[in-house]
Amino acid sequence: MQKLIIKGKRNLIGKISISGSKNSALPILAASILANKVILKNIPLVKDIFTMAELLNFIGLNTKFLLNKNILEIKNKEKKINTLAPYKLVKTMRAGVLVLGPLLGKYGKAKVSLPGGCAIGTRPVNLHLFALKKLGANIKIKNGYILAEAKSGLKGTTIKFPNVSVGATENALLAAFMAKGKTVLKNCATEPEINDLISFLNKLGGQIKLSGRTAIINGKNEIKKQLIKHEIIFDRIEAGTYMIASALIGKKVTIDKIDPRIIKTEINILKKMGVKIKKNNNSISLKKNVNLKKINITTKPYPGFPTDLQAQLMVLMTQANGLSKISENIFENRFMHVPELRRMGAKIKIKNKTAFIKGPSKLAGAEVMATDLRASVSLVLAGLIAENKTVINRIYHLDRGYEFLETKLKRCNAEIVRI
């Protein structure tokens, strides 16, 4: 098992370029099942993307990475399509459940492994299945698999989600794309990754509009046969992670290949804490502030503060003056980083869904363990500001979602090595 060793207290100086969004690329890879030939640019070369490509190959598509250019080519020759997403591929990469909508819509059937839980929660898919049933699918659960079929195709209808779900919104969009007639989805998630999926589907011949939390899909599109090209939007969570790193120990850091308008919430929160941020049209510049103000945050669906940045912001809160609060409203078990941060000297108490962080506290390097993707990167952030050395175990979690993390940080004067 690989480890990361970080020598703390080295100021970050320089430029960090943000990669394409894993959480945008994953549903768009699933959507490629609907297409003939697709060229995707700005693909992040991370483990989850490789796993999703492996799943598409298993189904019968042909994927080819042009590695040095972050380009992925996907062809669907409609030969020997296997409408099965096996447990071995879905268990480590839950977004595999997103092939359910396109397989059902295009081929009328699908057998997809239930994703199962992960470290941050049970991760149910009831809202995905609720939407597909409304569209006319017949769904059974058997031996850990979702057996879905729609012999006479899917039929457009109006669906109101009882609560907001990114994945369920994506699966419903993917299924409704091929349904006969119009579908109206209400109480949709509106993350930028949803908009990116919609713009991809519209290039495929869809006529999908999202206004507020309502999406209107005119289904049964004839799918454009020609090559579809699409560039994946930037990863706003990666951008937020490096913004927090710069606020913690940046001397002068520029974060580019981003659209600052999409991360307004994150920028405003850092500003409220006293971080000076200079915005340009596709980058921002910031540096550490020794007098950080405490703040109270609750994680919410977009455009609220993202749950995927909760662990990272908590590290910044350990350096703020006074008692900060962060309530995790999206997942039921997303504080696994807290015991590890405590071992480094952070003063954090948890009461139900809320963490109380007393700052500023001096962090000391320690041997720690990563538990999930975003918790592991919060340990990297803590290691950057801690005295002495921090050793982070189980960094395969990091490799699922952060492209070239050590390289990007080393280029900015961090002392970080993978062994």
Task: For the sheet with 71-75, list strands across it.
Answer: 62-66, 71-75, 37-41, 228-231
Closest separation between CB of residue 124 and ligand EPZ, Å?
A: 4
Q: By CB under 6 A, is residue 70 in contact with ligand EPZ? A: no
Residue 167, interface with ligand EPZ (CB under 6 A)?
A: yes
Burial class of residue 317 in the structure, from the number of CB atoms within 10 Å of its CB (0-12 exposed, 13-18 middle, 19+ buried): buried
Which of 113, 361 has the CB closer to ligand EPZ?
113
With binding defined as CB under 6 A, does residue 125 bind ligand EPZ? yes
What is the sign, positive or negative, of the torsion defined by CA atoms of 62, 66, 72, 73?
negative
User: How far apart, in whole angstroms, are the C-alpha atoms of residue 367 and residue 68?
Assistant: 34
Residue 252: beta bridge partners? 13
Euclidean distance between CA atoms 195 and 28, whole angstroms: 11
Q: Is 401 in the site for ligand EPZ (CB under 6 A)?
A: yes
CB 130 to ligand EPZ: min, Å: 7
We find the least distance from the C-beta atom of residue 121 to ligand EPZ, in angstroms, to be 5
Which residues 83-102 are close enough to bind ligand EPZ by CB under 6 A?
95
33 in Cβ contact with 76 (< 8 Å): yes
The footprint of ligand EPZ on this chain (CB under 6 A) covers a number of residues equal to: 22
The pair phi, psi for residue 346, each rounded to 5°, is -70, 145
Does 307 interact with ligand EPZ (rule: CB under 6 A)? yes
Binding range to ligand EPZ, per CB under 6 A, among 28-36, 122-130, 200-208, 406-414: 122-130
Query: Judged by CB under 6 A, does residue 236 bind ligand EPZ?
Result: no
Cα–Cα distance, 241 to 403 (Å, whole number): 12
Residue of 110, 201, 249, 330 that binds ligand EPZ (CB under 6 A): 330
- Residue 251's H or E segment, with its range, is strand 250-256
* CB distance 260 to 279 below 8 Å: yes
Residues 360-389 that bind ligand EPZ (CB under 6 A): 373-374
- Residues serving a catalytic function are 118
* 303 touches ligand EPZ (CB under 6 A): no
Question: What size, in residues, is the chain?
Answer: 419
| Residue for token pair 């006074």 | 322
Residue closer to ligand EPZ by CB (options 127, 270) is 127
Joined tokens for residue 154: 């899917």
Question: Using CB under 6 A, which of 31, 40, 135, 166 touches ligand EPZ?
Answer: 166
Q: How far apart are CB 253 and ligand EPZ at their closest, in Å? A: 23
The minimum distance between CB 222 and ligand EPZ, in angstroms, equals 29
Considering the complex, what minimum distance in angstroms separates the CB of residue 311 from ligand EPZ? 10
Encoded amino acid at 120, one letter: I
- 133 lines the binding site for ligand EPZ (CB under 6 A): no
Closest CB to ligand EPZ among 25 and 59?
Answer: 25
Residue 308 engages ligand EPZ in binding (rule: CB under 6 A): yes
Task: Give the residue from 263, 262, 257 showing the smallest Cα distance to 244.
Answer: 263
Binding residues among 26-55 for ligand EPZ as defined by CB under 6 A = 26
Burial of 149: CB neighbours in 10 Å, binned 0-12, 13-18, 19+: middle
- List residues near ligand EPZ by CB under 6 A: 23, 26, 95, 121, 123-128, 165-168, 189, 307-308, 330-331, 373-374, 401
